Amino acid sequence: MQKFILAVSCVLITISGFSQTKPKELPADPAKWSMEDMKRFAALPPSEQEMLKKKMLQQAEGQLKQKADAINLTIDETILPATQIKPPVLDLKRISAIPVTPPTRQQLLQNVSKMELALKKTLPPQTVQSVEEFAADKSVKEIQSASAGGWYDSKPEAALLLGMKAVTKDPADAVGLNNLAALLSMTGMEQHAIPVLQHCLETHPESATLLNNMGQAWLGLGDLVKSKQFLKRCLELDDMNPEANRSMAMICLFGNDITNALKHFEKEMQVGQRKSSLAQLVKSGHRDKINIAALRKQKMQLDGTDNRDFFEEINLNKFKIPPPPDNSRASAAWKKENEALLQSITQEMLFWMNVGQPTQEEMEADGKRNPGIYHDLVNELLSDLGNKYSHLLGIIDEDDVPYLTQLQEAWAQKDHEIKCPEPPFSPGNTAAVFAAYEKQCCDLKTPFIDELMFKHNSFVSAKIKDAQSNYKQYINGLINIVQLDPGPGNKIMVYRTVSQYFAFLATAIGSYQVLDPYITCKEGISNAQAGAIIESARTVDLQCPSWLKLNISLKIAKLKADCNGYNIEADIYKLIQVGAEKKFKTGTSTLYVGAGISGSFKKLASGSIKQQFYIVFDHNNEFADLGMRGSASGDLVSGAVGAGFSYDFAMNAGFNAQGSVKSNWITNWEKAITYVAK
């Protein structure tokens, strides 16, 4: 049977892999299609493709059924994709043979004896003899057990004969009578099962089992009205009865009552998920309305088998996501403390990723492996599990971005608005004075950096906690499901998921805002010391003497100096400028190099242009910043004499531009440079 199903699957795969062709011109067997056939199929409209696929699928299933009949093999037609289950036809002939009133015990025994005699005549003598010998010295319970075993061992005739023997030995035993009725219904003799059940219901009218079997018998005879009556009474007594719920679901489907059909399918699947019910649910077109994974979890809870924590068993719980640092001053230590953890997480991710790469042998073995009995159920459960958790395993989703962006923008705005105090000008300023003012700037900026870290990390921590909990439930659910069909492909899927979990851990740690202290924050001075130094600092407010204002042009350089600082600049070939600046007030030094031109350039324009790359050092001669700056003036800018534009873009200080014209001067500059180069 599995080979036949595999053959049908191959046909389906072949059909679905093509695109379109005229049906009448194609061979009936897609395996015999030529490349031209495939091209013709690809040219068909989608509606004609579907019609052809359906026709060929029906042909393939018909061939499968013929081959199964030839070797006396029973096929569960409910799982065949092209076979639609139809309501049973009302069998009036068999129904007319059922007595109107329940038989008495004497009448029942007479009927059983007649059926037993007729059955013996149809069975091989050795089968009859072995049943007689077994039943002669066995108890009723032992005979009943043997009857059930014979049915599940695909020996329905022997099972039925043993069931009759059990009833003959103890005609008052309701269990034996019910089992016999069930065997009669399952072998297609519902008209003989119903009188047995009528007799039992006379003394046990509230038996959900008897009511269910009566409903199944009437369903087999095609009387959906009577079947529904008995099944409804059964479910009033036992609302989780799986057989009654399945049959009620089918009756509702036959009547196009989708809402109640889904309700009964859902109750059935809380107890057990059978392949035929899954197939009918899919064929109904409403598969997505039932979460089979959630139903299976409920079933496991009822059975008490849902307490295994696979997440803990494979030691995934050992990897803890550390809480973020409390503030920017703790960032450096936090990074150092968690460096080894990140390395371990990366190694685990790579390990599980490697074991999740199938070998050629594993791929071939998985391709040849016959699907297990739970193969279809596993696929449906995995589909539901993925639908439930796939969107819950990330940390930051699209809806979170505006809030996190707003936090960044608010911090940037506050940082821009805060102006750090500058030390007073005094010839006696020392490095300690500058350090004190830097400390004051640090104290002004740090609260806003820490505020950003706190708000961002508090928000992200809650998201990480939820996502990690979902990941744990997802992995537990995945392993639980895969246990039903632990083939190489499913195992590899688990390995890759665990690898993805470690990637999630690394991403979670990296999603924190771990900011370094503001650039002016340095060790070595306390708030009290900084305050004392600033209080003692004096501002010397002197008029700058005329002799200290210098502007000297040398042969290749210019020197400018005043009370605020000095600048030395040299022109190389009147195009390249190099220079150095010193600010007395802040103690900073700047080295720069760039291009600069000035004058008139034919009829193009006139004015001056500068563009420089610079490096800034603080009062301790330590690196502080680097950037680009430039300026333009005259009609190079906008055609209007006196117009000007300047910009300054630094790594730490940010971007600053002045002037209203931001494009014309670039074009004019390029023209001017071209003229100078000539």
Domain locations in the chain as residue ranges: 2-79, 99-303, 317-510, 546-677
Considering 278-287, 481-490, 636-645, the range whose residues carry the highest mean pLDDT is 481-490
**Does the pLDDT value for residue 31 go beyond 70?**
no
> 186 to each of 86, 213, 216, 569, 655, how far by Cα in Å?
18, 10, 9, 105, 84
Supply the pLDDT for residue 82: 53
Per-residue pLDDT tens for 176-212?
999 999 999 988 899 999 999 999 999 999 999 999 9
Per-residue pLDDT tens for 550-561?
555 655 667 676
Supply the pLDDT for residue 23: 45
Rounded Cα distance, 554 and 432, in Å: 36
Q: Would you call 323 helix, strand, or coil by DSSP?
A: coil
Cβ atoms 213, 178 nearer than 8 A: yes
What phi and psi values does residue 624 have, to the nearest 5 degrees? -125, -35
Q: Which residues contact 274 (CB under 8 A, 6 or more apart)?
A: 246, 268
**Confidence band for 22, pLDDT divided at 50, 70 and 90:** very low
Cβ atoms 385, 498 nearer than 8 A: no
Q: Assign domain 99-303 to its CATH superfamily.
A: Tetratricopeptide repeat domain (1.25.40.10)
Which letter does DSSP use for residue 418 in this model?
A: P
Supply the pLDDT for residue 638: 45
- The b-or-e profile of 575-585 (16+ CB within 10 A means b, else e) is eebebebbbbe
Per-residue pLDDT tens for 198-251?
999 999 999 999 999 999 999 999 999 999 999 999 999 999 898 999 999 999
* Residues in a beta bridge with 132: none
Rounded Cα distance, 646 and 663, in Å: 12
- Percent of the chain, pLDDT > 70? 71
Rounded Cα distance, 448 and 161, in Å: 88
Q: Would you call 617 helix, strand, or coil by DSSP?
A: strand
Side by side, the strands of the sheet bearing 550-553 are: 550-553, 557-561, 565-572, 576-583, 589-601, 605-617, 623-634, 644-650, 654-658
Indicate the pairing of strand 654-658 with strand 644-650: antiparallel
**Does the pLDDT value for residue 639 go beyond 50?**
no
CA of residue 623 relative to chain centroid, distance:
47
Supply the pLDDT for residue 562: 66
| Mean predicted confidence (pLDDT) in 161-178 | 90
Rounded Cα distance, 415 and 433, in Å: 23
**Confidence band for 582, pLDDT divided at 50, 70 and 90:** confident
Supply the pLDDT for residue 418: 86
Supply the pLDDT for residue 222: 93
| Mean predicted confidence (pLDDT) in 616-621 | 73
Supply the pLDDT for residue 571: 72
**Does the pLDDT value for residue 145 go beyond 70?**
yes
Percentages of the chain per state (helix, strand, coil), in multiples of 5: 60, 10, 30
**Does the pLDDT value for residue 11 go beyond 50?**
no
| Mean predicted confidence (pLDDT) in 337-356 | 89
Supply the pLDDT for residue 46: 78
**Does the pLDDT value for residue 258 go beyond 70?**
yes
Supply the pLDDT for residue 637: 44
Of residues 669 and 248, more confidence is placed in: 248
Supply the pLDDT for residue 528: 60
Which letter does DSSP use for residue 573 in this model?
A: T
- For residue 211, how many other CB atoms are within 10 A of its CB? 26
Per-residue pLDDT tens for 62-118?
666 666 666 665 555 555 555 567 788 899 999 998 998 999 999 989 999 999 888
Per-residue pLDDT tens for 504-513?
999 999 999 9
Q: Which residues contact 33 (CB under 8 A, 6 or more apart)?
A: 14, 18, 21, 26, 27, 41
Sheet strands (E) in 351-440: none
Considering 283-287, 446-450, 644-648, the range whose residues carry the highest mean pLDDT is 446-450
Lowest-confidence pick of 338-342, 418-422, 622-626: 622-626
Q: What is the pTM of this model?
A: 0.51
Supply the pLDDT for residue 585: 63
**Kind and range of the H or E element at 597?**
strand 589-601
- For residue 595, how many other CB atoms are within 10 A of its CB? 16
Token pair 């200080």 is at which residue?
A: 653
Supply the pLDDT for residue 223: 94
Supply the pLDDT for residue 272: 73
**Confidence band for 677, pLDDT divided at 50, 70 and 90:** very low
Tokens of 299: 């079933």
When computed from its CA atoms, the radius of gyration of the chain, rounded to whole angstroms, is: 44
- Mean pLDDT, the chain, as a whole number? 77
Lowest-confidence pick of 2-16, 274-288, 303-317: 2-16
**Does the pLDDT value for residue 15 go beyond 50?**
no
Cα angle value 414/420/426 (rounded, 5°):
170
- Percent of the chain, pLDDT > 90? 25
* Residues in a beta bridge with 593: 578, 613
Of residues 487 and 109, more confidence is placed in: 109
